[in-house]
Amino acid sequence: MFTSSRNVLTVAVVAAVLMLSGCGGGSKAQGREVGAGEHTDDISSGVEVDAGAAALVPADVKEEGVLLVAMDLTSPPSEFLASDNKTPIGFNPDMARLIAKKLGLELKMENVKFDTIIPGLEGGRYDLTVSSMAVTEDRMKVLDMIDYVSNGSSIAVGDGNPDGLTPDTLCGRSIGVQSGSVQEIERLPLLSAETCDAKGKPAIKGVSLPSVQDALTQVASGRIDGVFYDTTSLSWADKQQPGTFEVLTPQVNSNDNAVALGKGSALTPAVQAALQSIIDSPIYADALERWGFDGLGIDEATMSVAEEE
């Protein structure tokens, strides 16, 4: 570990922000300049309403005609802002657009901090979230969770992995995690218990930060040893900023991610039907491919059920 000068840290911050915004060699799309790897076209254009799914939309939601979706737009390629700093793009915004179209509703996306999403769903401030949320027993107690894609968690360290770290040799190291993420709440404590506590070694030091962007910035500046986050986002960062990070293999774990609604939401059956309609159509493969999620598709929009105590 070392303390960087103010100038070095500033350069690292700028580099990380540019990287995670997908900025780079631009190309023309819809009349404006966009960064490399950005897809700002509306994937739901031309997609028709699914009559069966739309028939399940509750009367009050149908009357209002709006689907309010919360997500934290700081995690490319899952969800982030285009280089115009206002257009939500990524796999999750694409899926939200498709869900709304299948249900015949207008989509409104709210950009919020990840750790405020679950309280917002519980309080009825949002209809649902499409935010790469992993299914856990605690979340299922307060949410309806419907699988829509496979994902996993990995560790990223500085380029070249100068300390030769592996997921099994992080004892005593400082590892960044996003506040409210499954890595912070469940997976880092479990990894520490299995690889460190059980062997009498110092615990892994979790450093909770507002976003993966903040964590990667601190890795680049040498303030922390690594970051524990979604494999898709870490792989994207590595490709966007070559020579800055290294994603350790194999990934620590894999799991399905779920669209989440408040527990017992009247909208859940309609959303599940819409998701299955998307999964069964060619547009699902298109959405996966254009954000580098090839091979992560699933066959069924399954509703997760908590184990009985």
Q: pLDDT tens across 8-18, in order?
A: 333 333 333 33
Q: What is the pLDDT averaged over residues 261-275? A: 98
Between 120 and 38, the more confident residue is 120
pLDDT at residue number 22? 38
Pick the CATH number of 27-151+255-290 from 3.40.50.800, 3.40.190.10, 1.10.287.1080, 3.20.20.80: 3.40.190.10
pTM of the model: 0.84
Domain boundaries, the chain: 6-22+153-253, 27-151+255-290
292 and 238 in contact (C-beta within 8 Å)? Answer: no
- The set of residues, in sequence order, having a beta carbon less than 8 Å from that of 261 and lying 6+ positions away, is 121, 127, 128, 129, 143, 144, 146, 267, 268, 271
Round to whole Å and give the CA distance between 229 and 215. Answer: 9
pLDDT at residue number 140? 96
pLDDT at residue number 150? 96
Between 20 and 146, the more confident residue is 146
- The set of residues, in sequence order, having a beta carbon less than 8 Å from that of 85 and lying 6+ positions away, is none
Structure tokens, 146: 């419907």
Fold of domain 6-22+153-253: D-Maltodextrin-Binding Protein; domain 2 (3.40.190)
CATH topology match: 6-22+153-253 vs 27-151+255-290: yes
pLDDT in tens, 70-118: 999 999 999 999 999 999 999 999 999 999 999 999 999 999 999 999 9
Query: What is residue 129's three-state secondary structure?
Result: strand
Between 44 and 306, the more confident residue is 44
Task: Count other Cβ atoms within 10 Å, centred on residue 264.
Answer: 9
pLDDT at residue number 38? 83
pLDDT in tens, 29-72: 222 233 446 899 999 999 999 999 999 999 999 999 999 999 99
pLDDT at residue number 30? 29
